[in-house]
Amino acid sequence: MAAARPTEPFGHRFGDQGLLAQALTHRSAGAPHNERLEFLGDALLDLIIAEALYQRWPRADEGAMTRARAELVRESTLARIARGLELGPRLMLGPGEMKSGGHRRDSILSDALEAVIAAIHLDAGFDACRQAVLAWFRADLDGLEIAKVGKDAKTRLQEWLQARQRPLPVYELLGESGDDHAKTFGVRCSVSEPQVSAEGEGASRRAAEQQAAEAVLAALDKVG
């Protein structure tokens, strides 16, 4: 099993290292694992993001804020943030999950990130938890526009290309890995004008396509 390292990787210094270790322990590695923490972290994350949107968007209606929250707390977003925090290598997984690359799977990463949120809350209180979470989500919150809320990455990429009368993107399945009940899909998204491509990974082909499309959009933003 890979051991959790007692460092400060998440913007919080844990007083109780046991909480951090539990948050990073998948059920495949035995008890105590992180499922109860995940339950609490999910609720805390919803509250923190809802409060942030309420404060940032004083004129937005309930529907817009609901769609924005759903976009921010969806599995692929949490998994991307978890990768940025290098959470995967710190996970404690059972032999089967380690062999199948569980530390790279969106579902495991997103669940573990929620568990870390709960662990910070239990270790130091809500204010410390909110501070850490808002730091992780700052770029996503800053980049979110009301007009774009509710449109997924594939739709936004298609609209970007159509507005410039350019060919539509091509999605290529690169492969699948993992057991039937917990597969990971790899997809490449390519556009020809300009020539840009990016790869995505997810628990479904659609999720992988969305991640790849998001990466292509980010690249297109840079080339103009």
Q: What does the pLDDT average to over 164-171?
A: 93
The answer to whether 8 is a known ligand-binding residue is no
The answer to whether 193 is a known ligand-binding residue is no
What CATH number did the domain enclosing 116 receive?
1.10.1520.10
Residue at 10 is within a domain:
no
Q: Is 42 a catalytic residue?
A: yes
Residue at 5 is within a domain:
no
Domain's final residue, options 98, 127, 148? 148
Q: Is 114 a catalytic residue?
A: yes
Q: Are residues 96 and 179 in the same domain?
A: no
What is the tens place of the pLDDT at every residue in 105-114? Answer: 888 999 999 9
Q: Are residues 167 and 126 in the same domain?
A: no
Q: Are residues 125 and 74 in the same domain?
A: yes
Q: Which domain holds residue 157?
A: 153-223
* Rounded Cα distance, 74 and 152, in Å: 11
What is the tens place of the pLDDT at every residue in 173-208? Answer: 999 988 777 788 999 999 998 999 999 998 889 889
Per-residue pLDDT band at 224 (split at 50, 70, 90) = low
Q: Are residues 116 and 170 in the same domain?
A: no
Catalytic residue among 106, 114, 201, 209: 114
The answer to whether 38 is a known ligand-binding residue is yes
Mapping DSSP onto H, E and C, the string for the chain reads CCCCCCCCCCCCCCCCHHHHHHHCECHHHCCCCCHHHHHHHHHHHHHHHHHHHHHHCCCCCHHHHHHHHHHHCCHHHHHHHHHHCCCHHHCECCHHHHHCCHHHCHHHHHHHHHHHHHHHHHHHCHHHHHHHHHHHHHHHHHHCCHHHCCCCHHHHHHHHHHHCCCCCCEEEEEEEECCHHHCEEEEEEEEECCEEEEEEEECCHHHHHHHHHHHHHHHHHHHC
Q: Are residues 131 and 113 in the same domain?
A: yes
Average pLDDT, the chain: 88
Per the structure, the count of domains in the chain is: 2
